[in-house]
């Protein structure tokens, strides 16, 4: 592999440890601002916390209370805009969630539903629900999902496989189901008269007033699943449901999934005291997917109509959505090679279909959730990367383009809200810098797509949720110096009130450790061919000694749809622990990662692990130029795609990486699923050489330095077979390595005990080889 050193262009090299102080009246930064030549502005506070500092421990990082403070999640406006509800972990157990509310009139936070009062034991979940939570990356107990009724009078949530209904007036929770089977994917109907759910692979509805239950589908069993999302839809398309209510409550659209074409793999799930043989329908790349049908049923379950999806059955249906008139149903049809995406509508009364638009790419098309049909029932908003960057477009219902609403060499993250009355479209995006996410607005008339107006004011990351009334929004904000804060704003950005200020005071859980926190330096490098800017974050130990050279741990992910280098709060995490152990920590986003446009993503097409490693080596070459870096002690660590990157780096670039830790890695892309793998590598029959070159096995003989591998022994995403195959290859090559396996652990390696042991093991590995 030939690589040439390029001169590093440092965008920002300033390190601070103090928090942003915010004027609550207007949400503007009132501290001293430091001008930079780059994309990230860092601010220095005028206040400090006077408290004796403590050294961080791995056990404390994963213990309660959370060092990040109270960080509510799943925030929602009530439909009438009078309250905001959210989930919050208990102080004594951060993984047990209760339902809370913030009343906008009284400005008070209060507990609505104590999950432990309803159910205090260990949840006995079905295998289907366990897998669904793993796909959703949901971890914890108690209330983990909930939703409002349309009138805002009631809340609905599943708990321990049953359904609970909470009325906000009576302040009482009622258990709606009490069955041996598990109810999952629970929903209110649009007008709040019914509750729907999946039980035993069929769709049910329950009349809330009468208590009458109806079963809408009857053939769900075995390989047939009604209203449920298949594996790749959950894991790769972010589609966690398989059914959708019509706005008028008269019909439900649903997907009927037949898993019989999908190969059955028999794998071991190894637990501490048992081994389970699991038969899993796993669609490995190049093999058959499910057969899928789109249907519509009335709420009595007496009439089911199937939508004609065409002659080619080897397709995906990533999105389904009703139009406001309840007469037309839209669905997106994606080709197997993911180079074509078609948006269609089906008229329920006329039984006619119409193609609204078709997107095509020479590489692949990224899915999105930004399709919005406007209430005027005449137009819709659509997102596309057709000009190389994700932007928003306005169409009429005949599929005619009205206007491009946003434009420029930057990307839209997501559509946040459409204010039809006042003619504004709100979205989050990267118009200022790819390292931050802000809220913007543009006129809905499309007259100034390049002249977006930024609404959010503080530099950092903003996650936005608008009220239905269009006059206010919730902002979940953080940056490298500020723990996550939740605030309420007027639509113009003015700060109204805090929901969770989460200010770092002497009482905050992080206060004893705060003085030791180190903030990163941001910078950018040119790629080896000079075609791309590669952003990085560099963390240095706080009290570095002049003339001393330090070891470096390169924390890597490197895969698509990910970003590590961003101005967001990380807090007292493993990075800070490594710094306190006198390690430098370095992160770089290579080509193929997200939020930079298609030209930055596409270089990985049909051959993975090549340009990504080349870019990571460019980062290491920059580290070699720093006088305080010991180039003989640079290690690499990553999980999942990052685990794959750690292996490829150690096998093909051993001159730069001297030790590596690989977690739950894909080792042979033929072992991974269809939708993800074929998106980037194409079908194995069309790109056999690319699959071979993207596998780690042609490069195993290149391992020279110490290598540690770990994997959960019940992983149903990146199957444990990836690691057992690697173990055999390393042994056949006579390569020594270290291995740590975790009985019962899935891909996400959940649980405090697992996290503490895993990270202690990783640090022990680097300490032994670098100290």
Catalytic residue annotation: 640, 715, 747
Mean pLDDT of 236-256: 97
Q: Is the pLDDT of residue 548 over 80?
A: yes
The size of the chain, in residues, is 771
Share of residues in the chain with pLDDT > 90 (%): 73
Please state the rounded mean pLDDT for residues 157-168: 86
Whether the predicted pLDDT of 613 surpasses 50:
yes
Cα separation of 675 and 351, whole Å?
Answer: 30
Alpha carbon distances (Å) from 515 to 19, 41, 63, 193: 11, 21, 20, 54
Quote the pLDDT of residue 136: 65
- Give the DSSP letter of residue 532: -
State CA 332 to chain mean position distance: 21
Q: Find the helix packing angle between 611-624 and 641-652, rounded to 10°.
A: 70
Question: For residue 729, what is the DSSP state?
Answer: H
- Segment 68-95 shows an average pLDDT of 85
pLDDT at 48 over 60: no
Strands of 154-159's sheet, edge to edge? Answer: 147-148, 154-159, 162-167, 172-175
Three-class secondary structure assignment of 387-406:
CCCCEEEEEECCCCEEEECC
Query: Measured between alpha carbons, how far is 118 from 173 in angstroms, rounded to an integer?
Result: 8
In 246-314 the beta strands, taken as DSSP E runs, fall at 251-258, 264-270, 275-281, 291-298, 304-307
Tens-digit pLDDT profile for residues 511-539: 999 999 999 999 999 999 999 999 999 99
Q: How far apart are CA 701 and CA 703, in angstroms?
A: 6
d(CA 50, CA 606): 55
Q: What are the beta bridge partners of residue 172?
A: 167
Average pLDDT of the chain is: 90
Dihedral angle over CA of 162, 167, 170, 171, nearest 10 = 70
Instruction: Say how far residue 64 (Cα) sits from the centre of its chain.
Output: 24
pLDDT of residue 685: 97
Determine the pLDDT at residue 378.
94
Give the helix ranges, DSSP H, for 142-277. Answer: 231-236
pLDDT digits (tens, 9 = 90+) for 477-500: 999 999 999 999 999 999 999 988
Q: For residue 660, what are the β-bridge partners? A: 636, 707
Fold of the domain spanning 517-770: Rossmann fold (3.40.50)
Identify the helix (H) or strand (E) that includes residue 468: none
pLDDT of residue 52: 62
Q: Decide which of 126 and 380 is more confident.
A: 380
Q: What pLDDT, in 10s, does the model give residues 62-78?
A: 998 899 998 788 899 98
Per residue in 653-664, pLDDT (tens digit) is: 999 999 999 999
Q: How far apart are CA 406 and CA 94, in angstroms?
A: 40
Do 509 and 65 meet the contact criterion of CB atoms below 8 Å apart?
Answer: yes
Q: What is the mean pLDDT of residues 334-338?
A: 98
Q: Are 367 and 319 in contact (CB under 8 A)?
A: yes
For residue 548, how many other CB atoms are within 10 A of its CB? 11
Q: Output the pTM of the full model.
A: 0.90
Residue 349 has pLDDT above 60, yes or no: yes
pLDDT, one tens digit per residue, over 2-37 is 333 333 332 333 333 333 333 333 333 222 222 233
Strands (E) across 656-737 are located at: 659-663, 707-712
pLDDT in tens, 648-696: 999 999 999 999 999 999 999 999 999 999 999 999 999 999 999 999 9
Alpha helices in 156-199 (DSSP H): none
Rounded to an integer, what distance in angstroms lies between the CA atom of residue 196 and that of residue 205? Answer: 4
**Could you tell me which of 583, 487, 593 has the C-alpha nearest to residue 536?**
593
Percentage of the chain modeled with pLDDT above 70: 91
Q: Phi first, then psi: what are they for 59, rounded to 5°?
A: -60, -40
Rounded CA-CA distance 456/462 in Å is 8
d(CA 102, CA 105): 9
Residue among 615, 692, 681, 603 at smallest CA distance from 649: 615
User: Longest Cα pair distance anywhere in the chain, in angstroms?
Assistant: 80
Q: At 266, is the pLDDT very low, low, confident or very high (cuts 50, 70, 90)?
A: confident
311: which residues sit within 8 A by CB, 6+ positions away?
A: none
52: exposed, middle or buried (Cβ count in 10 Å: 0-12, 13-18, 19+):
exposed
138 pLDDT band (50/70/90 cuts)?
Answer: low
What average pLDDT does the segment 548-572 reach? 97
Q: How far apart are CA 347 and CA 327, in angstroms?
A: 6
Residue 606 has pLDDT above 50, yes or no: yes
Cβ-contact 233, 185 below 8 angstroms? no
CA 250 to chain centre: 33
Cα dihedral: 185, 190, 194, 199 (round 10): -20
Q: Please tell me the predicted confidence (pLDDT) of residue 34.
A: 26
* Residues in Cβ contact with 762 at an 8 Å cutoff, skipping those fewer than 6 apart: 637, 661, 708, 710
Tell me if residue 1 falls in helix, strand or coil.
coil
Least confident of 71-85, 378-392, 450-464, 619-633: 71-85
Q: Per-residue pLDDT for 700 more than 90?
A: yes
What is the mean pLDDT of the segment spanning 41-53?
45
What is the model's pLDDT at position 423?
95
Q: Which of 18-32, 124-138, 431-445 is the most confident on average?
A: 431-445
CA-wise closest residue to 598 among 337, 403, 391 = 391
Residue 443: how many other CB atoms lie within 10 Å: 17
pLDDT (0 to 100) of residue 43: 39
Tell me, what's the pLDDT at 233? 96
- Whole-angstrom Cα distance, residue 327 to residue 284? 38
In SS3 terms, 234-248 reads as HHHCCCCCCEEECCC
Q: Where are the domains of the chain?
A: 517-770
Q: Estimate to the nearest angstrom the gap between the alpha carbon of 80 and the chain centroid.
A: 29
Phi, psi of 25, rounded to the nearest 5 degrees: -75, -30
Please enumerate in sequence order all residues whose Cβ is within 8 A of that of 280, keeping only pairs 6 or more positions apart, or say none.
Answer: 264, 265, 266, 267, 716
Three-state DSSP string of 22-71: EECCCCEECCEECCCCCCCCCEECCCCCCCCCCCCCHHHHCCCCCCCCCC
How far is it, in rounded angstroms, from Cα 116 to Cα 233?
32
């Amino acid at each position: 592999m030939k690589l040439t050193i390029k001169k590093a262009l440092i965008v920002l090299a300033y390190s601070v440890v103090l928090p942003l102080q915010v004027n609550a009246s207007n949400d503007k930064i009132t501290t001293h601002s430091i001008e930079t030549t780059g994309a990230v502005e860092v601010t220095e506070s005028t206040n400090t916390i006077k408290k004796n500092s403590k050294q961080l421990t791995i056990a404390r990082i994963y213990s309660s209370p959370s060092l990040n403070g109270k960080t509510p999640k799943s925030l929602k406006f009530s439909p009438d805009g009078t309250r905001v509800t959210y989930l919050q972990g208990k102080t004594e157990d951060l993984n047990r969630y209760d339902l809370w509310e913030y009343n906008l009139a009284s400005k008070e936070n209060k507990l609505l539903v104590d999950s432990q009062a309803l159910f205090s034991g260990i949840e006995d979940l079905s295998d289907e629900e366990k897998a669904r939570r793993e796909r959703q990356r949901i971890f914890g107990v108690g209330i983990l999902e909930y939703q409002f009724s349309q009138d805002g009078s009631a809340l609905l949530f599943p708990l321990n496989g049953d359904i609970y209904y909470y009325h906000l007036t009576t302040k009482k929770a009622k258990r709606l189901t009490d069955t041996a089977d598990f109810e999952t994917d629970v929903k209110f109907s649009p007008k709040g008269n019914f509750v729907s759910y999946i039980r035993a692979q069929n769709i049910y509805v329950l009349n809330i007033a009468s208590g009458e239950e109806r079963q809408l589908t009857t053939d769900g069993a075995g390989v047939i699943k009604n209203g449920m999302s298949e594996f790749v839809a959950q894991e790769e398309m972010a589609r966690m449901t398989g059914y959708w209510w019509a706005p008028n409550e008269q019909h439900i659209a649903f997907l009927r999934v037949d898993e019989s074409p999908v190969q059955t793999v028999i794998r071991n799930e190894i637990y501490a005291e048992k081994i389970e043989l699991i038969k899993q329908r796993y669609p490995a790349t190049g093999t058959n997917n499910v057969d899928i049908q789109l249907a519509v049923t009335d709420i009595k379950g007496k009439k089911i109509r199937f939508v004609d999806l065409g002659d080619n059955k080897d397709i995906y249906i990533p999105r389904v959505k009703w139009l406001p008139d309840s007469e037309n149903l839209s669905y997106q049809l994606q080709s197997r090679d993911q180079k074509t995406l078609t948006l269609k509508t089906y008229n329920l009364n006329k039984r006619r279909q119409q193609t609204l638009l078709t997107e095509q790419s020479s590489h692949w098309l990224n899915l999105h959730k930004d399709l919005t049909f406007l209430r005027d029932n005449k137009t819709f908003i659509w997102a596309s990367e057709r000009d190389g960057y994700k932007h928003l477009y306005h169409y009429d219902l005949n599929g005619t383009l009205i206007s491009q609403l946003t434009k420029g060499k930057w990307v839209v993250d997501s559509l946040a809200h459409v204010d039809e009355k006042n003619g504004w479209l709100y979205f989050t995006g990267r118009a200022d810098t790819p390292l931050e996410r802000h809220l913007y607005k543009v006129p809905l008339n499309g007259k100034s797509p390049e002249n977006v107006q930024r609404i959010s004011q503080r530099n950092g990351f903003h996650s936005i949720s608008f009220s239905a009334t269009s006059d206010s929004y919730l902002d979940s904000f953080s940056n490298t110096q500020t723990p996550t804060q939740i605030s309420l704003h007027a639509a113009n950005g003015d700060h109204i009130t805090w929901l969770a200020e989460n200010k770092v005071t002497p009482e905050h859980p992080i206060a004893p450790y705060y003085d030791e926190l180190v903030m990163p330096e941001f910078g950018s490098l040119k790629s080896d061919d000079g075609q791309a800017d590669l952003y990085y974050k560099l963390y240095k130990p706080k009290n570095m000694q002049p003339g001393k050279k330090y070891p470096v741990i390169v924390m890597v992910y490197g895969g698509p749809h990910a970003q590590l280098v961003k101005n967001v709060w990380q807090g007292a995490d493993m990075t800070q622990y490594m710094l306190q152990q006198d390690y430098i920590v370095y992160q770089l986003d290579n080509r193929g990662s997200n939020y930079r446009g298609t030209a930055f993503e596409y270089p990985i097409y049909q051959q993975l692990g090549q340009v990504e490693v080349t870019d990571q080596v460019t980062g290491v070459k920059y580290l070699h130029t720093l006088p305080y870096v010991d180039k003989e002690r640079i290690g690499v660590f990553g999980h999942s795609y990052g685990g794959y990157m750690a292996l490829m780096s150690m096998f093909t670039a051993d001159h730069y990486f001297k030790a590596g830790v690989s977690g739950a890695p894909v080792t042979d892309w033929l072992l991974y699923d269809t939708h993800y793998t074929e998106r980037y590598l194409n079908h194995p029959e069309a790109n056999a050489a690319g699959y071979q070159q993207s596998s780690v096995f042609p490069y195993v003989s290149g391992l020279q330095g110490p290598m540690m591998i770990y994997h959960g022994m019940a992983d149903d995403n990146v199957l444990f077979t990836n690691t057992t195959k690697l173990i055999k290859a390393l042994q056949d090559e006579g390569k020594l390595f270290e291995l740590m396996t975790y009985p019962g652990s899935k891909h996400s390696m959940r649980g405090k005990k697992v996290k503490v042991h895993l990270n202690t093991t990783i640090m022990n590995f680097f300490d032994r080889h670098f100290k």
